[in-house]
Chains A and B, each alone.
Chain A
Amino acid sequence: MIDKETLKEHGITQSEHKRIIDLIQREPNLTELGIFSLMWSEHCSYKSSKIHLKKFPTSGKNVIQGPGENAGIIDIGNGLAAVFKIESHNHPSFIEPYQGAATGVGGILRDIFTMGARPIATLDSLRFGPLSVPKNKSVMEGVVSGIAGYGNSIGVPTVGGETYFDECYSLNPLVNVFCLGIVKKDKIFYARAEGKGNPVLYVGSKTGRDGIHGATMASAEFGEDLEEKRPNVQVGDPFKEKLLLEACLEVMEKDLVLGIQDMGAAGLTCSTTEMAANSGSGIEINLDLIPQREKGMTPYEIMLSESQERMLLVAKKDKVKQVQAVFAKWDLDAVIIGQVTDTHHLKVESKGQTVVNLPVSAIVNLCPVYKREAKSYSPTKFKMDLEEIPLPNDYESAFLQIIKSPDLADKEWVFRQYDHMVQINTAVLPGADASVLRIKNTHKALAVTLDGNSLYTYIDPRSGGKIAVAEACRNLACVGAKPVGVTNCLNFGNPEKPEIMWQFKEAVEGIAQACQFFNIPVTGGNVSFYNDTEGTSIYPTPVLGVVGIIEDLDYITSPEFRGPGDTIILLGKNKEEIGASEYLKQIHSQKSGSPPTIDLDKEKRVQAFCLEAIFKGMLKSAHDISQGGLAQCLAECCILGNNPIGCQIDLNDKIRTDALLFGETQSRILISLEGKDLDAFKDLAKKRRVPFSIIGKTGGKNICLKHHHKTIIDIPVQKVYSSWKNCIPDYFKTT
């Protein structure tokens, strides 16, 4: 008999226990309960999020695979498809930063090559507590070196991402890893177990006791017993994964396998049951045949282990020898551990006894779905009165303070530790609006960006969701890419709290609306709930990963000014919006006010126009205006190039100077062009009804900015550059 304590340890509620008994018509044994606890965990089952995620648009003419598989797949022409997905590894990364982050990379890479694609890039969205706290620094150092240690070794470039800081992440950092792969359209593989009697093979690392209960751990709040959870974190071996990657791609290229699934969260349990459930078949395996790293492992431990670098594959009966030969070439074992059946059951044998016998549909498809209570917070919670915000006395020092805030400062300290060039596709280096990867043997490129503003989403979840999509698409437009698909990682607190559930529901609604409007399908993603430690929730942090296509390599555009004498133009309109801005946070220590408004129709027109102007060859640079506002954007345009260059700007908008400089009004892009293209540009903008203003010229050694002809800022660009450049390294200087 399973007692209450055991149920609690497994995160199974009384009613879920009853449901299990109803479904299988008996009491489960402990191993079976363990299986349910993993597969019915929030992490694997999406039981609290499912009803909301249905709102996402998931179809489109280029969608080859939507949500539900290891990764989404989009047709990109030339007989090729892009395979991509984002996943969180938040909880493990706080307990053991290096291994937590490293195995996060390993896991997402497997999701991509499981489908037959060669991973060509990863990006990371990272959130930490403030760097003034030593513990946060060590978490960041560990996470960054863990990502580097895994990605660099396996030879997949880490080409970009984002790194932000806030108190809310001090006890709960976020590590979201995105991976993009490319596959030939006729060589895509799925997690299927088809054909009665076909052998089931286990390949990769041996099974150990690491990671037991990983998925369950990711589905509960953290308390003070955090340190005790360290053994729940897996340990990564990138070399083993590199061998696995090459061997798997080789057996797939040679058409030797029928179905394949990686053993990620919930390990052997998840891979066996999902493969069978996807195909309406059954699977039987013998645990005595599983390669084991430790002696005396129980069936419970083997089924629940989350040891890394393992895959399960189903081969054609007559191809087993050839499969094994390929794995042997890469010094890996491929062991037959069972076979496909038609019983619709997962049957597990150990030492001559049946230790598990469960219907796979009960495990995979019949987890309860919850419609949890959602309650909005008081509308006055973040009220801000603009009149009460004093104008800065010294705009230059405010400007520098924002430039050198860790959120907006240069992140070279991070990406210099990542091999971001291996595979020689990286056409735009990290630090631009989006990362750009050329597709070899074509004249196209893919662009990728990760985006999400947690403060906006905290204050107004729906707007936060919409803006994340809008901004990610704007980032793509700035490099010359048209968005084709979205994946998202939704990081939230405990969904059993009504306010958190409300944040989630609203953010999903916002993302769904924007994706619908821009007509880009959501092809999958990940929900990470329970980002709470000691009762405190993180800000709701949806991270959008958007992939776009650049149709012609010759038109790849980047943010930096290209030379002196070019005309600087602002697309869009400046508004008096400073709510939820970096300016308020850094200069006035306030996190209040409403995030900027977003008009999706205007947004779409600005982006379409930017793309059109790029492909007409008019633009020399394009940069999205976002956090830190126009001033930050200008500074980046001046300093991102190899040779920093100054500019003279004259603004005449009738709004507060601080809002003009630092406000984060949406749907704006800063571009530069040569005088000879100006007339054609103006004509096109008028035709497309896109508002713009000519605001200045590039050149000189200073960033010089006037409002109503009065000089507000006049600083040597070199000074701006060093403030921006030195911020993060200074925190990590050893004295």
Chain B
Amino acid sequence: MRFGIVVFPGSNCDYDTLYVLKDVLKQESFFLWHKDHDLKRADCIILPGGFSYGDYLRSGAIARFSPLMQEIKEFALSGGIVVGICNGFQVLLELGLLPGAMLRNKNLKFLCQYVHVRIENTETPFTNKGKLGQVLTIPIAHFDGNYYTDQNNLKKIKQNHQITLRYCNPDGSLSEKANVNGSMEQIAGLTNEKRNVLGMMPHPERASESLLGSCDGQIIFKSIINYLK
């Protein structure tokens, strides 16, 4: 499997994602420079976390104009597998590959902590190795992760089972408290209608080694590998 990890100026989880895919999961993985026009025959494109262009405007708002985004958009529209993690999710929203937008976290502070997320749909390239309702322990680290969309979109998202991950309690139940950033419908991860594009705020690459406290993030990567096999 060939994983291409996009490097924007200001990306800071690019090396982490590369390390997990290459050194931990032994996949063929490489960086894609944002100024190029070459996806290097990647089977899966990952937009990593970070602060692309400093995120001085809206998060992800400038990165969507990077030259490589043109190829990524075509790749996604033709069914290619694309994952946006954290800032990558924000870029996908700005790009219009996923519906909705991110607001500031409800407590108006940056949040870095472990959260619990529940798998809401296993019939996706990203969660097929998990079980429905399975609770994953994965860290978040963001300022703008409070998902929002209009009622129309929300209806469609629900109808098409696009909600992939929801913030929850350790036992899988939902609550206001567990929804740390205030996301609409507790949305932590979301696919497009065709389910080939995923955006998620939690960082699976930070939860892929037992040394660091959790291996639950591997489920996301292993599902993709399984799907592309």
Contact = CB atoms under 8 A, between A and B. Distances in A.
Interface stretch (B10-18, B67-75, B190-198): B10-18
B67 to A, nearest CB: 13
Contact of A424 (B51, B55, B113, B212): B212
Given A155-B13, A242-B10, A331-B9, A416 B112 contact: yes
A238 B12 contact: no
- How large, as a class, is the contact surface on chain A? 20 to 34
B174 interface: no
A422 B141 contact: yes
Contact of A148 (B9, B20, B110, B113): B110
B112 A423 contact: no
Interface stretch (B117-125, B203-211, B221-229): B203-211
B110 A152 contact: yes
A440 B19 contact: yes
Instruction: With a 10 A CB-CB cut-off, give which of B20, B51, B203 has the most chain A CB atoms.
Output: B51
A153 B209 CA distance: 24
A701 to B, nearest CB: 19
A243 B12 CA distance: 11
Interface string A83-100: 000000000000000000
Contacts of A418: 110, 112
Interface in B87-121: 109-113
A40 to B, nearest CB: 36
Contacts of A145: 109-110
Contact of A239 (B15, B51, B109, B143): B51
Given A155-B12, A419-B110, A239 B141 contact: no
A422 B13 CA distance: 7
A237 B143 CA distance: 17
A382 interface: no
A239 B112 contact: no
B84 interface: no
A148 B109 CA distance: 10
Given A148-B110, A424-B212, A438-B211, A330 B9 contact: yes
A147 B154 CA distance: 36
A239 B56 contact: yes
Nearest to A424: B16
Contact of B12 (A154, A331, A416, A417): A154
A212 B16 CA distance: 39
A154 B16 CA distance: 14
Interface string A412-435: 000111111111101101000000
B50 interface: yes
A730 B203 CA distance: 29
Contact of A417 (B54, B112, B212): B112
Interface in A126-163: 145, 148, 152-155
Interface in A235-262: 237-240, 242-243
Interface size class of B (residues with CB under 8 A): 20 to 34
B199 interface: no
A410 to B, nearest CB: 13
Contacts of B10: 153, 239, 242-243
A704 interface: no
Contacts of A237: 54
A239 B211 contact: no
B139 A421 contact: yes
Contacts of B54: 153, 237-240, 242
A411 to B, nearest CB: 13
A553 interface: yes
B51 A153 contact: yes
A424 B110 contact: no
Contacts of B15: 423
A568 to B, nearest CB: 25
A238 B51 contact: yes
B148 interface: no
A441 B22 CA distance: 12
A419 B112 contact: yes
Contact of A243 (B9, B49, B111): B9
Contact of B112 (A242, A329, A421, A441): A421
Interface in B135-150: 139, 141, 143
Nearest to B108: A734
Given A148-B110, A239-B51, A239-B56, A424 B19 contact: yes
A153 B55 contact: yes
A243 B53 CA distance: 10
Contact of B109 (A155, A417, A429, A553): A417
A385 B205 CA distance: 57
A553 B205 CA distance: 20
B209 A420 contact: no
A154 B9 CA distance: 10
Nearest to A445: B211
Contacts of B205: 424
A420 B206 contact: no
A331 B9 CA distance: 9
A152 B10 CA distance: 11
Contacts of A438: 211
A242 B9 contact: yes
B74 to A, nearest CB: 25
Nearest to B213: A429
A418 B13 CA distance: 15
A553 B55 contact: no
B217 to A, nearest CB: 10
Given A239-B53, A242-B12, A424-B206, A152 B19 contact: no
A208 B37 CA distance: 36
A423 B139 CA distance: 13
A415 B55 CA distance: 21
Given A152-B110, A416-B111, A423 B16 contact: yes
A416 B141 CA distance: 9
A192 B146 CA distance: 48
B16 to A, nearest CB: 5
A170 to B, nearest CB: 24
Contacts of B9: 239, 242-243, 330-331
Nearest to B137: A642
Contacts of B13: 155, 422
A70 B19 CA distance: 30
A239 B50 CA distance: 10
Contact of B16 (A420, A422, A427): A422
A242 B10 CA distance: 6
B56 A416 contact: no
Nearest to B14: A155
A632 to B, nearest CB: 24
Contacts of B55: 153, 239
B19 A427 contact: no
A429 B211 CA distance: 11
Contacts of A441: 23
Contact of B51 (A152, A415, A440): A152
A523 to B, nearest CB: 27
B112 A427 contact: no
A427 B50 contact: no
A560 B12 CA distance: 31
Interface string A427-471: 101000000001011000000000000000000000000000000
Interface string A397-421: 0000000000000000001111111
Contacts of A243: 9-10
Given A155-B12, A416-B109, A426 B141 contact: no
Interface of B: 9-10, 12-13, 15-16, 19-20, 23, 35, 49-51, 53-56, 109-113, 139, 141, 143, 203, 205-206, 209, 211-213
19 contacts: A145-B109, A153-B10, A155-B12, A155-B51, A237-B54, A238-B51, A238-B54, A239-B9, A239-B53, A239-B56, A243-B9, A243-B10, A417-B112, A421-B206, A422-B16, A424-B19, A427-B212, A440-B19, A441-B23
Given A417-B111, A553-B211, 9 more contacts: A155-B51, A239-B10, A416-B109, A417-B109, A421-B141, A422-B206, A423-B16, A424-B19, A441-B23
Q: Which 9 A-B pairs have the closest CB atoms?
A: A155-B12, A239-B54, A153-B51, A419-B141, A424-B16, A417-B110, A419-B112, A421-B206, A148-B110
